[in-house]
Structure 1
Amino acid sequence: MNKKIPMRQCVGCGEMKNKKEMLRVIKTSEEEILLDTTGKKNGRGAYICPNGECLKKAIKSKGLERSLKTAIPQEVIENLTKEMENIAAR
């Protein structure tokens, strides 16, 4: 029997992809916005492709803000961009 692969939609490009290939951005109950590399943290999550282009699109189109139901401060966007670059460099 084939196991069902969990799919998630990228808030940047709108493509459906395997959940394991994507990065999860969460908003915690303390209103903190973090990159959840484990995919297991509690919080409202949004999925995004692990590349800078999709992050830019998600920020520009307000897709990330809509998914997390909150405004995202500039410093958080900068942190996410840095973390994304670190992950892409691996």
Structure 2
Amino acid sequence: MRTCVGCRGRAEQSALMRVVAVQDEASTDRWVIVPDVRRRGQGRGAYLHPDPQCLQNATARRAFGRALRLPAKAAIDSTAVHELLEHQ
């Protein structure tokens, strides 16, 4: 069982999408949230329902920074996750 960072609901791991943070090469204080489809990405992961509303809630609550233990002043870009959810 895992907890969605957007709605805080619990679900089986297979029902949730794993995301990881990758540091942007151009800037040291910018992080990009990317989907980890194969669930093999390095580092700490967070889980999210494959629902645009959960992504919006997680972004509004700044849940990715806490769940992934990113620096407090880090700029977070979740565009890659948003694009994946639009195409599903």
Letter in 2 for 1:46: A
Contact 1:65 1:72 in 2 (8 A): no
Paired residue total:
79
Going by fraction, where is strand more abundant, 1 or 2?
2
Return the offset for 1:27.
Answer: 2.2
Q: TM-score, normalised by structure 2?
A: 0.77
The CA RMSD measured in Å over matched residues stands at: 1.9
Q: TM-score, normalised by structure 1?
A: 0.75
Going by fraction, where is helix more abundant, 1 or 2?
1
Considering only CA atoms, is the larger Rg found in Structure 1 or Structure 2?
A: 1
Structure 1 stretches of 5 or more lacking a match?
A: 1-6
CA distance in 1, matches of 2:60, 2:47: 16
Letter in 2 for 1:79: A
Q: 1:44 to 1:29 in 2, by over 3 A?
A: farther
Letter in 2 for 1:20: S
CA distance in 2, matches of 1:13, 1:32: 21
Which residue does the alignment assign to 2:16? 22
Relative contact order: is structure 1 or structure 2 higher (C-alpha 8 Å, sep ≥ 6)?
A: 2
Sequence identity (%): 29
CA distance in 1, matches of 2:50, 2:44: 18
